[in-house]
Amino acid sequence: MMSSVIGGAMLPHAPQFFTMPETEDRGTVERVRETAAEIGARLKALAPDLWIIFANDHAEQFFHMAAPPFTVHVGSEANGAFAGREFHWRVPGEIGFEIVRQMYGQGFDPAFTSIAKIDYALGIPLTHLGVTDPVLPIYINAYLPPQPSTERCYAFGTALARIVGAMGLKTAVVASGGMSHYPGTDRYAEPDLAWDQKALDRIASGNLKSLAGY
């Protein structure tokens, strides 16, 4: 079956983009905004039927009740706020629920929610991309040990691709998060760009399976 995933992007969600402390480099922030706007325009030009965004929860919603490895939003909308900004996106909840149902048949048991909020991990990249269409959030526990393995995340992604393909949905996928960044440490301003480039080269060549080795 041909994949119906027609485009995708990885974007950072550092809260400094919106809080803008004095230590943040304004030039870097502006370059990120310009690049993200260009990416958003290119993805929107593909006219996807479905937008999916993968992001982690920063122990704000799931930690005290449960910390599932994968959670799919099945509500009709999602709201949130951060740094004086209000977030609101419609959610294609019926599609989300059908994805959950079919994931069960693919050997996955994702949780689902109808009330999870939009925090900055979703709000920042979606704002930078300029996405106004309905968006399906899928939360991955990348924050609290034990996290799902890279191999398991890869398998989840391939299962999801099969499902949206079978549903005939042209899908744009957004991954929210950092690569070789070190939040909360004195290395935050010095990511390992050489490692980033090696990983991006593998992605560009289509060698996605090799990323599971990380």
Residue 13: inside a domain: yes
Range of the domain at 60: 5-203
User: Residue 72's pLDDT is what?
Assistant: 98
User: Residue 54's pLDDT is what?
Assistant: 98
User: Residue 1's pLDDT is what?
Assistant: 55
Helix 26-45 crosses helix 120-129 at what angle (to 10 degrees)?
Answer: 70
Number of structural domains (the chain) is 1
Residue 28: inside a domain: yes
Which two tokens mark 40? 């958003």
CA distance 119 to 122: 6
Residue 119: inside a domain: yes
Residue 68: inside a domain: yes
Q: Write the secondary structure of 91-156 as one string of H (helix), E (strand) and C (coil).
A: CCHHHHHHHHHHHHHCCCCCEEECCCCCCHHHHHHHHHHCCCCCEEEEEECCCCCCCCCHHHHHHH
Residue 85: inside a domain: yes
24, 49, 56, 71, 172 from 141: Cα distances, Å: 27, 26, 6, 9, 21
User: Residue 213's pLDDT is what?
Assistant: 79
How many C-beta atoms lie closer than 10 Å to residue 123's C-beta?
Answer: 26
pLDDT in tens, the chain (214 residues): 567 999 999 999 989 899 999 988 899 999 999 999 999 999 999 999 999 999 998 888 888 788 999 999 999 999 999 999 999 999 999 999 999 999 999 999 999 999 999 999 999 999 999 999 999 999 999 888 999 999 999 999 999 999 999 999 999 999 999 888 777 788 877 889 999 999 989 988 988 888 887 7
pTM of model > 0.85: yes
Q: What is the DSSP letter of 45?
A: H
User: Residue 214's pLDDT is what?
Assistant: 75
CA distance 46 to 6: 7
The CATH number covering residue 186 comes to: 3.40.830.10
Residue 214: inside a domain: no
